[in-house]
Amino acid sequence: MRVLIVEDDPILANGLTETLRREGYVTDAVASAEAADAALKVTDVDLVILDIGLPRVDGFTWLKRFRGHGAEQAVLVLTARDALGDRVHGLTVGADDYLVKPFATEELIARVSALARRGRAMKARLIEHGPLTIDLAKKRATINGMPLELSQREFSILVHLFSNVEAIVAKDKIAGAISSWDQHMSANAIEVQISRLRSKLEPAGIRIRTIRGLGYLVEPWKSEKP
């Protein structure tokens, strides 16, 4: 799950970023509504954590416009405004949840986890490709029912590739989908991760092709049995 934090307090933004990354979320932060718009144009985001007291364009105004454009990403409003009217207004203009500062880290994580579960429930929970099954909810993969030992990055790349079967996936698209901006993976690092995946998948007849100069391709599953 990829999270975008829209918060102009750099100390809080950095703290939230590190907390969520430790929980396994790919997390980035921006400091204004304008920067959020720019980020969302180039990055697929599952959850926005939104401060209301932003410079120039406040969070409520941005959220109303965001929903008006048809955006469906989950939004958790995080603000010091604790008045009932503010809470009602936030939910009315499109927030999925509302958390008042100061807050307990455990509560933030629980609310983010709940929104993540809700988002996963709206998507396919399983990806199947021949003997390979990827369980998105449980974050695990099996081949012929046997667990496949994967690192977090290997699993993220596996999901990205097998969500795009028959499509060529460029290295930069893989890097952008699974890593934060300040932790961007190099092309060589992607190649290493792909090599490790191949060693675990090829014994089962699942192959990831390299399309030179373009990226990687997972072809439709074809049983080798006559």
- For residue range 41-58, list pLDDT tens digits in order: 888 888 999 999 999 999
Domain containing residue 198: CATH number: 1.10.10.10
Identify whether residues 101 and 179 lie together within a single domain. no
Q: Given this model, what pLDDT does residue 124 score?
A: 55
129-153 pLDDT, tens digit each: 999 999 887 788 999 999 999 998 8
Identify whether residues 95 and 204 lie together within a single domain. no
Evaluate whether residue 20 is within a structural domain: yes
189-226 pLDDT, tens digit each: 899 999 999 999 999 999 999 998 889 999 888 765 44
Give the domain-ending residue among 121, 138, 153.
Answer: 121
Domain containing residue 92: CATH number: 3.40.50.2300
Residue 59 CA to residue 62 CA, distance in Å, equals 5
Give the domain-ending residue among 95, 121, 147.
Answer: 121
Q: Given this model, what pLDDT does residue 226 score?
A: 42
- Give the residue from 159, 151, 166, 160 showing the smallest Cα distance to 220: 166
- Which of residues 84 and 120 earns the better pLDDT score? 84
Q: Which two tokens stand for residue 22?
A: 């430790």
Identify whether residues 112 and 169 lie together within a single domain. no
Q: How far is residue 92 from each of residues 34, 75, 85, 95, measured CA to CA in Å?
A: 22, 12, 10, 7
Q: How far is residue 99 from each of residues 49, 52, 77, 110, measured CA to CA in Å?
A: 10, 11, 6, 11
Identify whether residues 53 and 160 lie together within a single domain. no
Q: How many CB atoms lie within 10 A of CB 17?
A: 20
Is the pLDDT at 160 greater than 60? The verdict is yes
Q: Given this model, what pLDDT does residue 125 score?
A: 72
Residue 174 CA to residue 50 CA, distance in Å, equals 26
Q: Given this model, what pLDDT does residue 121 score?
A: 56
